[in-house]
């Protein structure tokens, strides 16, 4: 069978591929320290589990946009938690935010601007659609944050007519780097976007996994008319497999919303009915749900800061995290020595860490970085979420007072992974 041109433009996601490889090696009895795949490990909240059981009999197709009671609940949730006001009619619920982002790229005219590094899937989605992708350079000294200056320069270099529509995908807290933006920084980016007719797809799926001292703001606060916000249940409620994502639309963009629903109706139809009813529970703003989200975010913070501290103290360059559960260390200052060890690309670096040190990571090249840039993305979630949550709830104060001890108790594999990375680094 012949593959289409579109199919030839993409390859399987590196994230899923590495996960499969590791599962295989673990089945063969090998101890792999898994810093490759970033799935939030906490258990389904009991109230969500109950709601799902109670709705197991829901078997009909539902409206593509998502059922109204769910959209109403999402509207209340965003108002209470993020202080963002979107009515139920401005919300679409899809099978994960990933597919909603893809559908938005289908629906929106214009090339895609992406900070480098950024999450693996964006560039592949755009390429699948035959869209032009422009990576905007960022620097590790500034935590790989997109600056208004670099953004404007890239817009000027890559577009002929400033008034033509363009799209920017902005993700914060960021996978792969853990950085986020202050309100002021977002305001400055919003100005450039408005001046150059750029629609912002604002991927805020980690918004509630923001660390202390880093209040989450949305660029939609400063650019409501040109921003589509995405989020969902996959990260802060650990429900990736439920496949619930949301997209929030500007008030006057009814035809875009309708278009995205039409794309959905011709492809994925609707989010599974039992899941939509259970999601009403997951979007409650009751203390039970909000405390659960906060506790899980606290554990992510303790674990991620622990790994950062280990890496930083070993003298490895790595931007400090402000949210999510990832870090992006690099060894670019040691290119010569690494060349002597047979490492000239981030892929070779990740391979050597896996083969010789049993640490799984992802090469920076998967995130739009130049192949010879020696950076990797590591995830900080290789521990038992259920045990960690129970232990945290029983030892909250100690966890904050002695964070290293806490992480050592709940995440021995994470501690071992740090030691392995330090072992590798000591050879340099
Ligand atoms: C930055 C980012 N955006 C979107 C997603 C996809 O989330 P969803 O499960 O809602 O499709 C992920 C998941 O890994 C992610 O890391």
Most informative mutation of 175, 180, 207, 325 for ligand 1 (most atoms within 8 A of CB):
175
5-43+288-426 fold: 3.90.1150
Average pLDDT for 149-166: 94
pTM of the complete model: 0.96
Model confidence pLDDT, tens digit, residues 44-87: 999 999 999 999 999 999 999 999 999 999 999 999 999 999 99
Residue 15's pLDDT is what?
64
Pocket of ligand 1 (CB under 6 A): 96-98, 119, 171, 175, 203, 205, 232, 234, 240, 245
Residue 398 CA, ligand 1 centroid: distance in Å: 32
Q: What are phi and psi of 158, to 5 degrees?
A: -105, 0
Q: 212 is written with which tokens?
A: 């202390």
Model confidence pLDDT, tens digit, residues 335-377: 999 999 999 999 999 989 988 999 999 999 999 999 999 999 9
Helix (H) or strand (E) holding 370: none
Position of tokens 């992708």? Answer: 133
Residue 381's pLDDT is what?
98
Give residue 105's Cα distance to chain centre: 17
Protein residue whose Cα sits closest to atom 14 of ligand 1 = 38
Q: What are phi and psi of 96, to 5 degrees?
A: 100, 150
- Closest ligand 1 atom to 99 CA: 11
- Closest ligand 1 atom to 203 CA: 3
- What are the Cα distances from residue 414, in Å, to 18, 390, 393, 396? 18, 18, 20, 20
Model confidence pLDDT, tens digit, residues 238-271: 999 999 999 999 999 999 999 999 999 999 999 9
Residue 93 CA, ligand 1 centroid: distance in Å: 14
Position of tokens 């103290």? Answer: 313
Position of tokens 């960021």? Answer: 174
Most informative mutation of 105, 119, 210 for ligand 1 (most atoms within 8 A of CB):
119
Every domain of the chain and the residues it spans: 5-43+288-426, 46-284
Q: Considering only the C-alpha atoms of the chain, give the largest distance between any 2 of them, rounded to a whole number of Å.
A: 62
Most informative mutation of 19, 230, 235 for ligand 1 (most atoms within 8 A of CB):
235
Residue 95's pLDDT is what?
98
CATH 3.40.50.1820 correct for 46-284: no
Task: Verify cis geometry, omega within 30 degrees of 0, for the bond prior to 229.
Answer: no
Protein residue whose Cα sits closest to atom 5 of ligand 1 = 98
């Amino acid at each position: 069978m012949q593959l289409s041109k579109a199919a030839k433009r993409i390859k399987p996601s590196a994230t899923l591929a590495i996960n499969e490889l590791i599962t295989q090696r673990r089945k063969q009895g090998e101890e792999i320290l898994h810093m490759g795949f970033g799935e939030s490990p906490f258990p389904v909240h009991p109230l969500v589990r109950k709601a799902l059981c109670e709705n197991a009999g829901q078997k009909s197709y539902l409206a593509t946009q998502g059922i109204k009671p769910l959209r109403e609940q999402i509207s209340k949730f965003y108002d209470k938690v993020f202080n963002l006001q979107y009515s139920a009619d401005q919300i679409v619920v899809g099978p994960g935010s990933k597919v909603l982002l893809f559908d938005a790229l289908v629906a929106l005219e214009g090339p895609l601007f992406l900070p480098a590094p950024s999450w693996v899937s964006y560039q592949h989605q755009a390429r699948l659609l035959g869209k032009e992708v422009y990576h905007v350079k960022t620097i590790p000294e500034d935590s790989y944050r997109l600056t208004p200056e670099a953004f404007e320069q890239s817009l000027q270099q890559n577009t002929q007519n400033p008034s033509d529509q363009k799209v920017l995908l902005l993700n914060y807290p960021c996978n792969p780097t853990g950085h986020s933006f202050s309100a002021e920084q977002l305001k400055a980016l919003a100005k450039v976007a408005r001046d150059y007719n750029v629609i912002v797809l604002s991927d805020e799926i980690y918004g509630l996994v923001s660390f202390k001292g880093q209040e989450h703001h949305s660029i939609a606060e400063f650019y409501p008319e040109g921003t589509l916000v995405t989020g969902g249940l996959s990260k802060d409620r650990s429900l990736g497999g439920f496949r619930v994502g949301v997209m929030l639309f500007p008030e006057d963009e009814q035809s875009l919303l309708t278009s995205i629903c039409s794309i959905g109706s011709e492809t994925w139809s609707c989010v599974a009915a039992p899941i939509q009813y259970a999601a009403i529970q997951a979007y409650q703003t009751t203390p039970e749900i909000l405390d659960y989200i906060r506790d899980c975010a606290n554990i992510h913070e303790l674990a991620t800061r622990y790994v950062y501290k280990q890496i930083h103290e070993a003298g490895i360059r790595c931007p400090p995290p402000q949210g999510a559960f990832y870090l992006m260390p690099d060894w670019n200052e040691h290119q010569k020595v690494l060349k002597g060890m047979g490492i000239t690309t981030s892929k070779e670096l990740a391979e050597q860490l896996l083969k010789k040190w049993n640490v799984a990571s992802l090469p920076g090249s998967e995130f739009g970085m130049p192949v010879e840039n020696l950076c990797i993305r590591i995830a900080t979630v290789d521990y038992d979420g259920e045990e960690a949550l129970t232990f945290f709830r029983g030892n909250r104060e100690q966890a904050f007072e002695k964070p290293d001890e806490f992480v050592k108790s709940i995440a021995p594999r994470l501690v071992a992974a740090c030691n392995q990375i330090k072992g590798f680094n000591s050879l340099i």
